[in-house]
């Protein structure tokens, strides 16, 4: 019996030591991110952080739930994949305590040529494709309004729907479509408003769009992708170092060169 107790005590001590060995080094920063462009952008800050004595570990996720729960639980120091409206909704629905501390980039919506090659050439009554989900449709309508194609009800902002169009001088036929299929329908509409990700996937260049969201627009500011972490950790030295690195000229230049307008630095 004494031998069994000794074995159990040794096992418990060994387990305790192993747990202690797995504690994260305070100079290691673990950040969860989507593969593109977030993890790619984070890779560029590794050398900056190394100069300050920090090691950046990037964990890539292909969903929008696990990075937030892992940040809440402390398995991640921060995450970089989402915009503020999504984060706020996640906190409300899940009782988490996450906050965004900096906006890094946005992925602009663009108006792309279909059967019309310029905005001025769009004929009366022409079809214009926009995404059919509420958030993305509102962004699309605002972009059309910003370029004088329609006028929206004053103050409607990013809650706009087709019902909020108060002036449509060209009698445009606004076609609400699944965002992912819009790039394949360009030959059947005059122009289409397309999300940057879907544009890239379809081989379209944001630089060739007839118009894109401005970085100072309400949509760009609202839907900018943020560095998020658990409330109360904002002033940790490692987080401050990560924040400064992400807002560096190195990151801005990388974004401009790598993505050619499909991803735009917001800072």
Residue range 88-139, pLDDT digits in tens: 999 999 999 999 999 999 999 999 999 999 999 999 999 999 999 888 999 9
DSSP string, 178-198: -GGGGGGGGGGSSEEEE-HHH
- Could you tell me how many residues make up the chain? 267
Contact criterion met (CB below 8 Å) for 92 and 84: no
22-107+221-265 and 110-212 in the same fold: yes
Q: How far apart are CA 231 and CA 68, in angstroms?
A: 12
Taking 70 as the threshold, does the pLDDT of residue 8 lie above it? no
- Quick one: pLDDT band at residue 195, thresholds 50, 70, 90? confident
Q: How much is the pTM?
A: 0.81
Boundaries of every domain in the chain: 22-107+221-265, 110-212
Q: Does domain 110-212 have CATH number 3.40.50.2000?
A: no
Pair type for strands 127-131 and 191-194: parallel
Q: What is the CATH number of domain 22-107+221-265?
A: 3.40.190.10
Q: How far apart are CA 129 and CA 114, in angstroms?
A: 10
How many Å separate Cα 20 from the centre of its chain? Answer: 36
């Amino acid at each position: 019996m004494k031998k069994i107790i000794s074995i159990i005590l040794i096992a418990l001590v060994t387990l305790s030591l192993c747990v202690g060995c797995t504690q994260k080094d305070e100079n290691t920063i673990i950040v969860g991110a989507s593969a593109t462009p977030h993890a790619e952008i984070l890779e560029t800050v590794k050398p900056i952080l190394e100069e300050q004595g920090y090691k950046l570990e990037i964990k890539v996720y292909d969903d929008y739930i696990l990075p937030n729960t892992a940040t809440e639980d402390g398995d991640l120091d921060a995450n970089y994949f989402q915009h503020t409206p999504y984060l706020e909704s996640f906190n409300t629905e899940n009782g988490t305590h996450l906050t965004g501390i900096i906006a890094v980039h946005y992925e602009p919506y663009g108006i792309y040529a279909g059967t019309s090659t310029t905005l001025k050439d769009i004929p009366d009554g022409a079809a214009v494709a926009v995404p059919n989900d509420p958030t993305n449709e509102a962004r699309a309508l605002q972009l059309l309004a910003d370029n004088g194609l329609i006028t929206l009800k004053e103050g409607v902002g990013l809650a706009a729907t087709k019902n909020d169009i108060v002036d449509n001088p060209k009698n445009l036929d606004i076609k609400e479509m699944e965002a992912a299929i819009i790039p394949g329908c360009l030959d059947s509409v005059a122009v289409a408003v397309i999300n940057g990700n879907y544009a890239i996937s379809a081989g379209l260049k944001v630089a060739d769009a007839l118009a894109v969201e401005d970085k100072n627009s309400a949509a760009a500011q609202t839907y900018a992708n943020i560095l998020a972490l658990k409330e109360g950790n904002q002033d940790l030295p490692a987080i401050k170092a990560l924040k400064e690195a992400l807002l560096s000229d190195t990151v801005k230049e990388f974004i401009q060169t790598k993505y050619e307008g499909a991803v735009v630095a917001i800072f």
